[in-house]
Every structure is written in C-alpha cells, then in structure tokens.
Amino acid sequence: AQKVTQAQTEISVVEKEDVTLDCVYETRDTTYYLFWYKQPPSGELVFLIRRNSFDEQNEISGRYSWNFQKSTSSFNFTITASQVVDSAVYFCALNNYGQNFVFGPGTRLSVLP
C-alpha cells in the first residue's frame, strides 16, 4: 500500500524566515514519482515539482529547494526567505508505475508580514 505523511498540519513563520515542509512516503515499488503541489487561498492546485525514484539529486528553483532521500523515504520542501505570497496549503503526492496519485493531508503554511 502507498501512503504519504505530512506530519506538520500547520506552520506559521514570519516573512524572510526559512521554512521546511516535511513529506514521508511509503511504497513497495522501486519505480515511483514524487510531486509537490501548492494550493493558495484562491483554491486552485498548482504543480511545483516532480522527482523520480532514481534521481536523488536535490533541486533548487529560486527560493524553493527540494531534498529527496530514499534512505529515509522523505521528500522535503524548503522555502528560503519566505514571503507572504507563499502562504498556502502544500501537498506532497506519490505515484507509482500507474495511474493513481496518493496525496498527503497537506501542510498549511502561513507567512506573516
């Protein structure tokens, strides 16, 4: 069975602080894909990143970075110098060699001015 855990239900930070959102997954497959999505207050879901199970290189995109560690089954997301516009619910998701996504429960990030 596949499962995604996001233990942090809500996080509040002050603008310009760095924040890391945790994602731990479970799967018995050796080939799988991990995703992060952002859901701002407007409600739409926005794709942020995809990573396959064979690529453990960390990725940086502007203020966003992702740390994938197969040894701990984690795919954590860090926002550097957070901004108010980063306030949203962030979802981690897992997809194996198939059609189904399994989403975590989400982490609500509030960035205070």
Partner 1 sequence: NAGVTQTPKFRVLKTGQSMTLLCAQDMNHEYMYWYRQDPGMGLRLIHYSVGEGTTAKGEVPDGYNVSRLKKQNFLLGLESAAPSQTSVYFCASSPGSGRGDNEQFFGPGTRLTVL
Interacting residue ranges for partner 1, rule: CB under 8 A: 4, 6, 9, 31-33, 35, 43-45, 47, 50, 52, 91, 95-101, 103-106
Please report how close the Cβ of residue 20 comes to partner 1 at its closest, in angstroms. Answer: 19
Exposure of 36 by Cβ count < 10 A (0-12 exposed, 13-18 middle, 19+ buried)?
buried
Nearer to partner 1, 44 or 113 (CB): 44
- Looking at the Cβ atoms of 32 and 77, the one nearer to partner 1 is 32
**CB under 8 Å, gap of 24 or more: what pairs does 63-68 form?**
66/36, 68/34
Nearer residue to partner 1 within complex by CB, 52 or 83? 52
Provide the minimum distance between the beta carbon of 95 and partner 1 in the complex, in angstroms, as a whole number: 4
Shortest spacing between CB 88 and partner 1, in angstroms = 14
Rounded to an integer, what distance in angstroms lies between the CA atom of residue 67 and that of residue 57? 8
Neighbours of 9 (CB within 10 A): 9
